[in-house]
């Protein structure tokens, strides 16, 4: 049993319109679902991904309007690493980000930048046989587009404390003292730790809330058992409508989720129109009129992309 790499990464935004402009408009991802927080339907849960809403390319945001900036500290993910096709793509993104007012800098392995609320990203050229998961955008040639996640980097001062859960329960393969890889039949990703900054972290706008790994539908319950046997204290299986989920904290403090690679974002709207309308869980459908009036006005993501 192997996890199929990353499923999605969920972060927090205090500025939903600006979030749409950046992730759909600048980064060129497709908004694949516009729905509400299942615990608070007055605020959005926004999902961006490749053209088909595939696991492995999906970054999602809880909206907390006007939320103060967070900052990553020990026990938090501080960088999302994406794949791109090659050096030419790194140059393309350096220029495109600059043209949209976002500074970036070349690292030894790729190109680093932050979103407008401070969430760290890196683009990397990666040798892999995994399918590139790309979205369509009028100003971004297909060969330059983001190709889905390569991994995430988190902060901890004690990577060893997480080793048993990562290796024994989750079957992550060690790649170094502080880096692990996980690869299923279709897709893989890495999970790495860096030494934390001195200041404690703060959950807020621009911080990562949790990281979800992909499971097949058939193996999902077995993963829950493995996590429980490994001391990970998983939640019950929760039906998120587009996928099923369990949650648990790994020893460093990072909140993990294991989510199923289905039913998928076309469970309640056709794939051609993903994210265009407001999708509501069935129990909130009766409040649609009210919610549509009170939810933050958002730019149309595909016109944001054409602006």
Q: Which residues form the interface with Zn ion (CB under 5 A)?
A: 10, 212, 257
Evaluate whether 138 touches 307 at the Cβ level (below 8 Å).
Answer: no
Task: Give CA–CA dist 300/11, Å, rounded.
Answer: 21
Least distance (Å) between residue 104 CB and Zn ion: 27
Q: Closer to Zn ion at the Cβ: 10 or 134?
A: 10
Evaluate whether 70 touches 137 at the Cβ level (below 8 Å).
Answer: no
Evaluate whether 258 touches 246 at the Cβ level (below 8 Å).
Answer: yes
Least distance (Å) between residue 133 CB and Zn ion: 17
Residue-by-residue DSSP string for 227-267: HHHTT--PPPPEE-SSEEEEEEE-TTSPEEEEEEEEE-GGG
Least distance (Å) between residue 212 CB and Zn ion: 5
Evaluate whether 50 touches 29 at the Cβ level (below 8 Å).
Answer: yes
Q: Closer to Zn ion at the Cβ: 113 or 242?
A: 242
Q: Find, among 110, 79, 75, 111, the residue nearest to 11 by Cα.
A: 79
Least distance (Å) between residue 10 CB and Zn ion: 5
Tokens of 180: 């692990």
Task: Give CA–CA dist 214/188, Å, rounded.
Answer: 9
Token pair 């399918």 is found at 131
Least distance (Å) between residue 210 CB and Zn ion: 5
Token pair 């890495």 is found at 190
Q: Closer to Zn ion at the Cβ: 253 or 299?
A: 253
Least distance (Å) between residue 129 CB and Zn ion: 27
Q: Closer to Zn ion at the Cβ: 99 or 221?
A: 221
Q: Closer to Zn ion at the Cβ: 46 or 212?
A: 212
Least distance (Å) between residue 211 CB and Zn ion: 8
Query: 177: buried, middle or exposed (CB in 10 Å: 19+, 13-18, 0-12)?
Result: exposed
Tokens of 193: 């730790």
Q: Closer to Zn ion at the Cβ: 140 or 212?
A: 212
The dihedrals phi and psi of 248, each to the nearest 5 degrees, come to: -165, 155
Q: Closer to Zn ion at the Cβ: 143 or 253?
A: 253
Task: Give CA–CA dist 23/21, Å, rounded.
Answer: 6
């Amino acid at each position: 049993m192997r996890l199929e790499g990353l499923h999605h990464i969920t972060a927090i935004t205090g500025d939903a319109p600006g979030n749409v402009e950046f992730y759909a408009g600048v980064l060129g991802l497709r908004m694949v679902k516009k729905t509400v927080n299942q615990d608070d339907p007055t605020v959005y849960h926004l999902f961006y991904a490749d053209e088909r809403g595939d696991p492995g390319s999906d970054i999602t945001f809880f909206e907390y309007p006007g939320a103060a900036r967070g900052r990553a500290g020990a026990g938090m993910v501080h960088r999302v690493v994406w794949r791109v096709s090659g050096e030419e793509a790194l140059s393309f993104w350096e220029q495109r980000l600059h043209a949209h007012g976002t500074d970036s800098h070349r690292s030894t392995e790729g190109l680093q930048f932050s979103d407008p609320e401070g969430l760290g990203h890196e683009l990397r050229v990666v040798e892999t046989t995994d399918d590139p998961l790309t979205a369509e955008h009028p100003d971004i040639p297909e060969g330059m587009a983001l190709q889905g996640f390569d991994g995430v980097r988190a902060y901890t001062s004690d990577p060893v404390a997480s080793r048993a859960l990562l290796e024994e329960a989750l079957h992550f393969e060690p790649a170094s003292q502080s880096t692990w890889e996980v690869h299923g039949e279709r897709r893989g990703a890495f999970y790495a730790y860096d030494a934390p900054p001195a200041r404690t972290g703060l959950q807020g706008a621009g911080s990562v809330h949790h990281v979800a790994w992909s499971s097949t539908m058939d193996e999902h319950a077995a993963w829950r058992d493995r996590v429980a046997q490994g001391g990970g204290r998983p939640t019950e299986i929760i039906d998120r409508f587009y996928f099923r989920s369990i949650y648990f904290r790994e020893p460093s403090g990072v909140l993990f989720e294991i989510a199923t690679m289905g039913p998928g974002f076309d469970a309640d709207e056709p794939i051609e129109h993903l994210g265009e309308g407001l999708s509501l869980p069935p129990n909130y459908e009766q409040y649609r009129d009210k919610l549509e009036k009170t939810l933050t006005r958002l730019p149309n993501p595909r016109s944001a992309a054409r602006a």
